[in-house]
Amino acid sequence: MWRIIKWTFLFLFIFQLFYILLLKWVDPPFTLTQLGSLFSGYGLKRDYVPMKDMSSYARLSFIAAEDQLFPDHNGFDWKSINKAMEYNKKKPNRVKGASTISQQVAKNVFLWQGRSWFRKGMEVYFTFMIELLWGKSRIMEMYLNVSEMGPGIFGIEAAAQNYFKKPAKRLNRAEAAMIASCMPNPKRFTVKPMSRYVANRYPWVMRQMVFLQNDPDIQKLLQ
């Protein structure tokens, strides 16, 4: 029995390592979040596109909205994590997150939605692995392809087509900021019809984009 368990764990470890490496070049056929959206009645709209077919404003807007230190950290923003932990201690009935773009990719691609300690531990592992094996450009590309950006709408291409009837490559600064502003709850904070949250937040995102756009490390991700 012990030998069977050992070989099972060894197989699973090798398989997941192979899958992580494969996704460095190949887009995932599906994610658990996408399947959940499909079976829960929200549908599934998606269209994976390479980075060259995404507006630089799309990349910049999500960095500005979600993770301004993305080019510089190793997958974890420890300062924000500590702040979130202190907030959650003071207000246990309200949960504040501090997930980086890398952590969100790890969760969205390999795991499921939830807040269990086991899932969080797995998220740490996969975040470390994709930072090690993929690099920032691929993580950003994957993030913009698999993230939910509206009810049943996954990825920047599907969002651009659904909201503005144009490809992601043609999104302007304001349109990209509107889409980025629906995070972290795109089912509640809708782009069209525009929710009050998005209407109030996207001008702030646009200002942050101006502050960040000349940063040399961010420029590398926009080229």
Q: Which of 175, 200, 181 is nearest to 56 (CA)?
A: 175
Q: Is residue 24 part of a domain?
A: no
Res 89: pLDDT: 44
Q: Is residue 35 part of a domain?
A: no
Distance of alpha carbon 60 from alpha carbon 207, whole angstroms: 11
Q: Residue 141 pLDDT more than 90?
A: yes
Give the C-alpha distances (Å, rounded to integers) separating 57 from 114, 148, 167: 30, 18, 13
Res 94: pLDDT: 40
Helices (H) and strands (E) in the chain, counts: 11, 2
Look up tokens 């000349």; give the residue: 214
Q: Residue 95 pLDDT more than 50?
A: no
Structure tokens at 192: 């069209």
Q: Residue 85 pLDDT more than 50?
A: no
The tens digit of pLDDT for each residue in 17-51 reads 899 999 999 999 989 899 989 888 898 999 999 99
Res 98: pLDDT: 59
Distance of alpha carbon 188 from alpha carbon 63, whole angstroms: 21
- Counting the structural domains of the chain, the total is 1
Residue 76's pLDDT band (cuts 50, 70, 90): confident
Q: Residue 116 pLDDT more than 50?
A: yes
Distance of CA 86 to the CA centre of its chain: 24
Distance of alpha carbon 160 from alpha carbon 32, whole angstroms: 23
Mean pLDDT of all residues belonging to the chain: 87
Distance of alpha carbon 44 from alpha carbon 35, whole angstroms: 8
Q: Residue 56 pLDDT more than 60?
A: yes
In percent, the amount of the chain with pLDDT more than 70 equals 91
Q: Is residue 215 part of a domain?
A: yes
Q: Is residue 179 part of a domain?
A: yes
Distance of alpha carbon 87 from alpha carbon 47, whole angstroms: 37
Q: Is residue 2 part of a domain?
A: no
Written as one string, the DSSP assignment of 196-217 is: HHHHHHHHHHHHHHHHHTT-HH
Res 6: pLDDT: 74
Res 84: pLDDT: 46
Q: Which helix (H) or strand (E) holds 153?
A: strand 153-154
Q: Is residue 191 part of a domain?
A: yes
Q: Residue 163 pLDDT more than 90?
A: yes
Looking at per-residue pLDDT, the higher value among 211 and 118 belongs to 211
Residue 81's pLDDT band (cuts 50, 70, 90): low
Report the range of poorest mean pLDDT among 67-76, 77-86, 104-113: 77-86
Looking at per-residue pLDDT, the higher value among 101 and 90 belongs to 101
Look up tokens 């590309």; give the residue: 141
| Angular region, 31: left φ>0, alpha ψ -120 to 50, beta rest | beta
Q: What is the CATH number for 86? A: 1.10.3810.10
Q: Is residue 15 part of a domain?
A: no
Q: Which of 163, 202, 193 is nearest to 62 (CA)?
A: 202
What is the pTM (predicted TM-score) of this model?
A: 0.87
Res 15: pLDDT: 85
Q: Containing domain of residue 217, as a range?
A: 40-67+77-222
Q: Is residue 16 part of a domain?
A: no
